[in-house]
Homo-oligomer: A and B are copies of this chain.
């Protein structure tokens, strides 16, 4: 019986930041943000909670920043011919897939994560040969719209103020047209 070198004495793969973030994301997506505790995260990783601090010295703050970073990172498969509409659709899908992280992403002061997102959006604008000053406004307007709309979708019910069922996909597309028509 050959023992793998990366298996330690307790016969488990050692902890890593990646595994910790992944497990945390699973808890948040499955049970909600309020259920993410260091002790529960430790359980999920089959480790005492205190072991996590060895990999994340800044503790829970660093864990939450890691979650935001993970969701804020640009979709890896951003095709070279993706336009603004594709980018917005992709980013919205990402936000809704990790709706539990949205409160963190929306309001934690995390310039690095925000910069990553803006950079990927700016890259799309650059490929579209949009002038620099227009691009700055467009980037923030579009990003604001996508984030804000995702928040509405998470907050809202299926009714709008006029007692009609809301098709959020269609509503998002219509708003996107509105924002991009002028851009």
Chain A contact residues, CB within 8 Å of chain B: 99, 102-104, 106-111, 114-115, 118-119, 122, 132, 136-141, 143-149, 151-152, 154-157, 159-162, 164, 166, 171, 174-175, 177-179, 181-183
A148 to B104 alpha-carbon distance, docked (Å): 13
Q: Which 6 A-B pairs have the closest CB atoms?
A: A148-B148, A141-B175, A144-B148, A144-B149, A147-B148, A103-B107
Contact of A162 among B102, B111, B132 (CB under 8 A): B132
The one of B115, B132, B137, B147 in contact with A151, judged by C-beta atoms closer than 8 angstroms, is: B147
Q: How many copies does the complex hold?
A: 2
| One of B106, B114, B171, B182 near A106 (C-beta < 8 A) | B106
Other-chain residue from B109, B147, B152, B161 in contact with A122 (beta carbon distance below 8 A): B161
Q: Complex: how many Å from CA A164 to CA B122?
A: 14
Q: Hey, which chain B residues are within 8 Å of A177, CB to CB?
A: 182
Closest to A159 in B: B111
- Nearest-neighbour CB distance to chain B for A133, whole angstroms, equals 10
From A123, which residue of chain B is reached at the shortest CB distance? B161
B174 touches A178 (CB 8 A): no
Give complex CA distance A149, B146 in Å: 10
A148 proximity list for chain B (CB < 8 A): 143-149, 151
Tell me whether B154 and A118 are in contact (CB under 8 A): no
A170 CA to B49 CA, complexed, in Å:
46
Give A155's nearest chain B residue, CB to CB.
B114
Output the least CB separation between A86 and chain B (Å).
19
